[in-house]
Every structure is written in structure tokens, then in C-alpha cells.
Structure 1
Amino acid sequence: MIYRFVGIDESGKKIRDKIEASSFEEAKSKLRAKKIIYETLSQESKTIFENFSFSTKYKIPSKELSLLSRELSMYIRSGISIVAALKIIQTHYSQNKKMKLFLATLSTHLDEGKDFYTALETQSIVLLPQFYKESIKVSQNGGILDEVLLELSRFLKEQERIHKEIKGAFAYPSFMIVVSLLMISFMLAFVVPQITGIFESMNQELPTPTKFVIALGDFFNNHFTTILFALVAFSAIFMLLRAKNERFAYFIDAVILKLPLFGEIAQKSELARFAYIGSLLVRSGVPFVQTINLSANILNNLVLKKLFMQASKMVVEGKELSSALNASSIKIDYAFIQSIAVGEETSQLQNVLTNVSELYFEENRDKISTLLTLLEPSLMLFVGGTIGFIVAAMLLPIFSMSIG
């Protein structure tokens, strides 16, 4: 729970801030430990949205978590304690109240004698990835916290960069699709009905393409609201089922993997993420079975997640990961399985996973570039062809009259 307080610190300065505590008594105890004399102390009231079952934790962006990890790594390498480093970093977040409270809570937990992992696990302000916390847990025991924090920072930064690249790459095609649909809708809903009146007064047989366009225009014009509502309803239901119904989400993910080109890009993107985080966790000293489970949990595709979860159970039984993946009914890129097998045979799995992730990231970058190169002219042809067909269909009766 979060408590608001107004008080005076040990320097005599009046402060207004928040503190995390499980009870009112614990909040008072934490303020006394910080040598703060409070004037008012009350539990923060929930907003109307927090009364629903949505998570109230702040989902920290990858870029922000990457920067925080890099700063912590830098300070720890400089010989500064984690508590002191957190207090320094806290001054950088004066405008971000959630992050400021998160860092203050970590400092409080560390002051109470908890280790860094326990502080991260105990706090309820920020939602952190499980693999991130597990990496911290193992690395602090192995004395390589600064190295692992730096690796986590690189991984998160790379994921953010890839996400931005993909988002930016598909921005223009998405814009073209929206514009083309709007143009076609405008022609069918407003232009075609205007010309239809002229044809009705001719009292002659219209060509089949003209009849088709007129019928399509009438349908679109009469049912525009229904079509719009149906599209919105379909999108909302689809997203709801995708989020809440695991069987439906699994089916959609399976379909995505079977799509030409798109399926290969999606699979290699997921395998690259698995390999990268797997190499990081192996380097951190996380047990291999736990590494597989944690790496699988960051995957978005439920089919591939299930594949690795099943493989981890077979690894517990004594099988190698490559054999478990090869024996599965879910088929993935055979080169990935071969790479894992080589890594297991040579005891160089960490290096192999790192190389595989880099290779797949690079391959996907090239494939997405090729896809966009083909997609842009295809969209132009689709827009031009559709509008050209509508215009030609409207001009056909006029040409027929001229010839007649």
C-alpha cells in the first residue's frame, strides 16, 4: 500500500512525499527510520480505474529500465554502494513520481537489511520482467551484479531499438492502407451514387462491371454505419479474446507461424529473443532448466512458449535441449536446433546462443526491408487498380452510348 505524508526531515526541511508499507504502523516505523517527523500520514486513495481488476503497477518502459540498469552498473563499478547509487539516481526522476517512489522504496528495503533482489521482489510500485529479477538474484550472489546490469541494459536497449525499427518501417505502409481504404470508401459512398442517377435516366442495359460497382456503392451507402460498427466490434472482440482466451490466442499464434514470410519473421524474432536472454542468464549463472523457463516466459507467441516449456521438462528428465526440441510436434527452424546441439556438445552454449540471436536479428532486418520494398509498390498498384476499375466501370456506359 502507498501512504502519503507531510513532515519535516532531519535537516528541518518540510517535505511532501509517498512511502510504501504494508500497514499504517509499518509506514510510521519507516518514517522514524528515515528520521522524518510526520505531520499527516494517510493511505493514498484509489482512483476509479484502480477499483477494477487492472494491475495498478507502473509498467516501466524498456528504454527507462535500460537507462536505470546502466546507471546502477556504472555507480557499482565506481565503488559506490547500491543504496547510495539509488539515492543519486532518485534525483534524476523528480518529474516521474512513480519512478521516484520506486527508487525510494528500494532504498528503504535495502536500509532494512534486505538484498537487492528481495527489495525488487517486495516492492509493489513497478512491474519488472521476471527474467530481470532472476538475473539480479543470481548475479548478486556471484559478485557480478555490475556486469549483469550492464548486459541487461544492452538487451533492453536492443529490444527497444528493434521495436522502434519495426514500428517505423510499417508506419508508411499502414498509412497507405488507411488512405486507400478511405479513398475507396469515399468513392463508393459519395461519388458512385451521384453518377448512378444519370444511368437510371438512360433506360439502357448497363455493363456487368458498372452494375457491380453500383450495387457495391448502394450497399456501402445504405449500410455504412453497420459496417463501421461491425469493424469496431470485431476488433474489440478479437483483442479481448486474444487477451483473455488462451485457446484462441494459441490458435492465432499458430496461424501466424504458418503465414508465408510473416510466419518466418515472427518465428525468428521470437527465437532470437529466446537466444539472447538465454545467453544472458547462462552467463549470469542461472541453472539451465530455469534459464529455459525464464527465456520462454518473455516470448509473445504461445506456440513457441509451449514448445520450450515442454522441452524444459524433458531436460529435467535428462535429455538435451536440442533433442527435446527436435522430438517435439511443433517444428521450428532446424538451424536453431543444430546450433543448440553444437553448443551442448562443445560446452559453448552461451556463445552459440549469442551468435544465433545476432544472426536472426540481422536476418529479420533484411527480410523486413525486402518485405517493405515489395509492399509499397503492391499497395500503390492495389489503390490505383481499385480506383481505376471504379472509374472505368462508371465510364463504360458512356462509351457504349457514344459507340451506339
Structure 2
Amino acid sequence: MAFKLDNIPQQKTAPKSDKNSVSFLQKEITLFGSPFSNKVKEDFYTELSVLLKAGVNLKVALELIQNSQKKKQNKDTLNFISEDLISGQSLSNAIQVQKPFTDYEYYSLRIGEETGTLGQVTEQLGDFYARKNEQRRNLINALTYPIIILTTAVLVVAFMLQFVVPMFEDIFRQQNVELPAITKFIIKLSGLMKDYGWIVLTIIAVLLFSKRLFNKKQGYKRFKDNLILKLPFIGSFVKTVYLSQFTQAVSLLTASKVPVVNSIQLVKQMIDFYPLQSALEQVEQDILKGKSLSQSLSEHHFFDDKMIALVKVSEETNQTEYIFDRLNKQYNTQVQQQSKMLSTLMEPFIILFVGILVGVILIAMYLPMFKLSSVIG
């Protein structure tokens, strides 16, 4: 049985329940990670699938999962869902009014309820979040070591400009030594850092703490995501990560007999990456105008030739689910390979960058010393 979702963009989301409208003082303060994060969702859907396939009642399954939660806010969310089920609502309607859940999850669960495949759909959702979390871990693993090295380099250079360079400056001033241009530049840079360093640090701290606020601004998201795509090595890796998520989501939705247009609409709401969302917005409009999916994808540089060619084959052979599943496995393999390659390639470049920075400062400081020693000699 195919469940068609019509006019998804026009459908209004149900209002949030009053039981979620608690005062600020009653809310749980989350310092590390968000409540009902993707990792929690992975465990939630996987455990729910196992319990449903084992013949456990949905309400009992939710109670078992609720008891295994450690965070109070996660327990409260599952408790609200259980109460809605008791009042006669479906699982999809119960999670729709809960903030941590997305439209993608709502419609997927609704499809499972309408087709009697809720156990299979929850298993697919668990698999989706498992791969998404794995890709996030790969990204973190690939960037952690280079970021540590780069941060150390910045701190070393800042220390030298703040404390070491002024010591040499005092010596040069006392000896009245004529300074080369590079030494004058480094000394001037050191002076600027002493005068305005705390201001720069304050600005950086404010930007870091206000990141969540900026993320809600469409202009900032557009600039940030487009900038990431242009970064060498990192841009290609991030693009592959989101292509993997896109192909997996489409594969899961087509397996549930969701029409292509509706699949694009749901994926667009699910994946928070501006270049992909913008491309999918245009793809959706092109499909509604009568173009095929492969033709629509071919007009955007975000989608590579391999995907477009295989999507065209899937349209001709009516094997959309199989093709997108194969594409997802290929992209997932690429993510793992590129994450290892990324850390391997970035490490020598960052070390070279650090060496050049420190070397320039040392050369700038020692050139006048050589001149001073020759004059004394």
C-alpha cells in the first residue's frame, strides 16, 4: 500500500502541547549536547524496532525505553508521547508536537502506521541516525588533530608576539640598532597585539557564544556553508557527507513508497545544509514542471555525474530504491576513506604552516642580533 503525502509545504504543524510550555527555571539546563540528540534518536528507534518486532505493545515499549533514559528531559519527552498514545493519538501525531522531532520522522512514522510496517520504519530511522552519527564521528576524527595543531600554533605565535618579541625590542632600542623591514613589521604586529589583543579575544569569545543565534540567520548559514564547500580538502569531504545523507534518506523514503516530490520535500527539511537545501528547492520546482529527477539534478553542481547517471538508470528501470541504496553505500565508503585521508594530508600542511610562522618571527628577531654582534666585533 502506497501512502501519498500531498501538499506537505502547505500542511500546518500541530501546535505544541501546553505541557511543554514550562517556565525557564523548570527547564533542564543542557551544557553538553542537546536533549534527544541524534545519538539518543539512534538508540530510541533501534530499541523501539526490536521491541515492536518482538511483539511488545507500543505503549509498553515506550515505557521500557523511557526507564532506560538517564536525562530527565528525555524521560519527560517520552512520557508526553506515552500520555498522548493513551489519549488515543497515533505515534506520529504524538511526536509531531514534540520539538526534538522533525517532519521527516513524523511522515516516516505515519507511513509505517498506514502501511502496517512501523517496526520496519523505526528500524530504517535507527539506521539513518546510526549512519549520520558515524559520519559526524568521522568528520570529528578527521579534523580534531589538525585543529589541535593549528590551535597550538596560534597560541605559540601569540606567546612569542606578546612576550618574546618585546624583549628583543628593548635590546634593539637600547643598542640603537637599525632594524630590517621584516623586524619592524613583526615588532609593529607585536605592539598591535599588546594594545588590541584582549579586544580580539573578546570578539572571538562573543562570536563563539553567539554561534547558536547566528545559525538561525539565513544569511549567516548561506555564507558559512558556501565557505565550507570552497575550503580545500574539507569542502569535498563535507559535500560527500551530505550526499551520503541525501541518498540514504531518499532510499528509505522510496522503500516506503513515498513519491519522489514528497521525498525531496522531506529530505530538504531534514538535512540542514544550505547548498543542498537550495539545490533541492530548485529540483522540487523542476520536477513539478515536468522534468525528470535526473534532469533536475544535472542542473546543479552539488550533485556529481555519477549520481546523475545512476539516477537516470533508475528512472528507466524503475529501481530507484536499489540505486539510491547503492549510491549511499558508495558515498558512505568514500566518507570513511576521505576522513582518514583528510587527517593524513592536513597534518604536514599545518606543521609546515606552523614552522613558517615561527621561523619568520625568529629570523626577524635574529637578523638585527647578527648585525649587532658584527658591530661589536
Residue 391 in structure 1 maps to residue 362 in structure 2:
yes
Q: Quick one: structure 1 residues 237 and 91, their matched pair in 2 at CA, closer, same or farther if it must change by over 3 Å?
A: closer
Alignment check: 8 A CA contact 1:72 1:86 kept: yes
> 1:257, 1:267 within 8 Å by CA — same for their partners in 2?
yes
Q: 1:353 aligns with which of 324, 344, 347?
A: 324
User: Greater Rg, structure 1 or structure 2?
Assistant: 1
Note if 1:377 corresponds to 2:348: yes
Partner of 2:129: 156
Aligned partners of 1:59 and 1:128 also within 8 Å: no
Which of the two has greater strand per residue? 1
Q: Which deviations, in whole Å up to 9, do the C-alpha atoms of 1:102-126 show, x marking residues without a partner?
A: 223222222222222122224x4x5
Distance of aligned partners of 1:250 and 1:176 in 2 relative to their CA distance in 1, 3 Å threshold? same
Q: Tell me the equivalent position of 2:8.
A: none
- Superposed, 1:71-90 pairs within 5 Å as 71-90=47-66
Cα deviation, residue 22, structure 1:
4.7
Name the TM-score, length of structure 1 as normaliser: 0.80
CA RMSD of aligned residues (A): 2.5
Tell me the distance in 1 between the aligned counterparts of 2:131 and 2:305. Answer: 25
Aligned residues: 354
Note the C-alpha offset of 1:242: 4.3
1:300-339 correspondence to structure 2 within 5 Å: 300-328=272-300, 332-339=303-310
Q: Residues 2-401 of structure 1 correspond to what in structure 2 (within 5 A)? A: 22=18, 46-47=23-24, 59-93=35-69, 95-122=70-97, 124=98, 126-233=99-206, 240-244=213-217, 246-328=218-300, 332-401=303-372
Where structure 2 has 5 or more consecutive residues not aligned to the other structure, the ranges are 1-15, 28-33
Deviations 1:147-179 (A, max 9, x none): 111111111111112212221321221111111
Does structure 2 conserve the Cα–Cα contact (< 8 Å) formed by 1:257 and 1:266?
A: yes
Which residue is 1:27 aligned to?
A: none
Say whether the 8 Å CA contact 1:169–1:372 is kept in structure 2: yes
Q: TM-score when scaled to structure 2?
A: 0.85
Where in structure 1 are there 5+ consecutive unaligned residues? 1-19, 24-42, 51-57
Secondary structure at the counterpart of residue 24 of structure 2: coil
CA contact (8 A) 1:293 1:312 kept: yes
* CA shift in 2, pair 1:70/1:371, >3 Å: closer
* 224-233 or 300-309, larger mean C-alpha shift: 224-233
- Provide closer, same or farther for how the CA distance between residues 323 and 247 of structure 1 changes in structure 2, counting only shifts above 3 A: same
Counterpart position of 2:10: none
CA separation of 1:373 and 1:220: change in aligned 2, threshold 3 A:
same
Secondary structure of residue in 1 paired with 2:344: helix
Q: Aligned partner of 1:131: which letter?
A: Y
